[in-house]
Amino acid sequence: MSSKEKNSVTILTESQLSSRAFKDEAYEFYKELRKSQPLYPLSLGALGKGWLISRYDDAIHLLKNEKLKKNYENVITAKEKRPALLKNEESLTKHMLNSDPPDHNRLRTLVQKAFTHRMILQLEDKIQHIADSLLDKVQPNKFMNLVDDYAFPLPIIVISEMLGIPLEDRQKFRVWSQAIIDFSDAPERLQENDHLLGEFVEYLESLVRKKRREPAGDLISALIQAESEGTQLSTEELYSMIMLLIVAGHETTVNLITNMTYALMCHGDQFEKLRQQPDLMNSAIEEALRFHSPVELTTIRWTAEPFILHGQEIKRKDVIIISLASANRDEKIFPNADIFDIERKNNRHIAFGHGNHFCLGAQLARLEAKIAISTLLRRCPNIQLKGEKEQMKWKGNFLMRALEELPLSF
């Protein structure tokens, strides 16, 4: 989106937000929004009218605001219920990310014990082994595409083993995950995504049947057997929860590892500082989460009760979308916000969200990134971009900030 186009646009559409052109210029656009229009109008097709939030303080407030709901059915009357946009919508949307209390609490309780500090630390040796094995494969070539060869396989292997799903299916998960996070109401895209989601549902049905026959010590088996407050998961909730764990269990971490490596490659002084002072790794990860937030835009929140924000009435059924990427570059919160500084103090980023829906897997993502980046720098100390940084392309994607590829030589 050019500067001329940005100045003339009064309403942003889903297709614009999802475009590669928008991703390329998003940070400058967000900067202008934070200054002059922190509540920006959106047109989201069948979903209706929406608003884009760009300031940090507004994001913090709205991520905890009880007037905003994740479950559309908690906003509308029975007469207002819309037909499903996708044939397989019911089977893949009944998870905790799309729920409100008390359902959210019930669903989160079923899985949170698998993501405790103690459980995550037990994965450290396994993650280290995976990182080393992946680098063993590419190191003789002195070249790799970080996304395909390292950043994607590492977290998908980890979450696959946690869930107890066959590792050979991981490429299918990649395709299905993209269909889920690739929000679009364009008819041809809806049809294509619905077909892919149908494949995902069929896969989950087969997987659950097998786990019912042969339960094991994995998370899917535990979910099948689980009871919380005396209530088992419904079939739709079970499928939706497995889907969420597969997608969220790797998608954010792929982007964290890739975006952090890219930021280090683009800021040679910070890269060298981290190589010389590996004890800065934790701080560097937090700065990477802030600087190129893996999740650029939050999933949809629906307005259940009207309220006023920046002099504008937000009406019932309006959609609220929060730019975590913009909030994490807010100059009022982060001095020199556009500078990548691995020693940044008081880094209060919200890359993993805030409030009830704070990312359950945040600690796992941080550990995976720490091991992945530390191992990469130790084993490939002369690593560098293969090509110019201007040649690197951001994916056109609604939710995520993700590079298509990151070619590296070493």
For β-strands 319-322 and 301-303, DSSP reports them as: antiparallel
First to last CA, the chain: 35
**195 pLDDT higher than 90:** no
**Residue 152 phi, psi (nearest 5):** -80, -55
136 close to 154: Cβ distance less than 8 angstroms: no
Determine the average pLDDT of the residues in 129-157: 96
CA distances from 116 to 7, 98, 195 (A): 47, 22, 36
pTM of the predicted protein model:
0.92
Per-residue confidence (pLDDT) for residue 173, from 0 to 100: 86
Determine the average pLDDT of the residues in 205-210: 92
Q: What confidence tier does 376 reach under pLDDT thresholds 50, 70, 90? A: very high
**319 pLDDT higher than 90:** yes
- CATH 1.10.630.10 matches 3-409: yes
Average pLDDT over the chain reads 91
CA distances from 149 to 85, 135, 240 (A): 35, 8, 28
Determine the average pLDDT of the residues in 230-242: 84
Q: How far is CA 114 from the centre of its chain?
A: 19
Which 8-state DSSP code applies to residue 400? B
pLDDT > 90: what percent of the chain?
71
Domain extents in the chain: 3-409
Per-residue confidence (pLDDT) for residue 6, from 0 to 100: 44
Q: Which tokens sit at 36?
A: 């002059």
Rounded distance between C-alpha atoms, residue 215 and residue 222, angstroms: 8
55 close to 330: Cβ distance less than 8 angstroms: yes
Q: What confidence tier does 123 reach under pLDDT thresholds 50, 70, 90? A: very high
- CA proximity to 245, closest of 171, 189, 161: 161
Return all residues near 194 (Cβ < 8 A) that are at least 6 apart.
86, 87, 88
Classify 211 as helix, strand or coil. helix
| Per-residue pLDDT tens digits for 89-121 | 667 788 999 999 999 999 999 898 889 999 999
Per-residue confidence (pLDDT) for residue 1, from 0 to 100: 46
| Per-residue pLDDT tens digits for 34-87 | 999 999 999 998 888 999 999 999 999 999 999 999 999 999 987 787 666 666
Per-residue confidence (pLDDT) for residue 153, from 0 to 100: 95
pLDDT > 70: what percent of the chain?
93
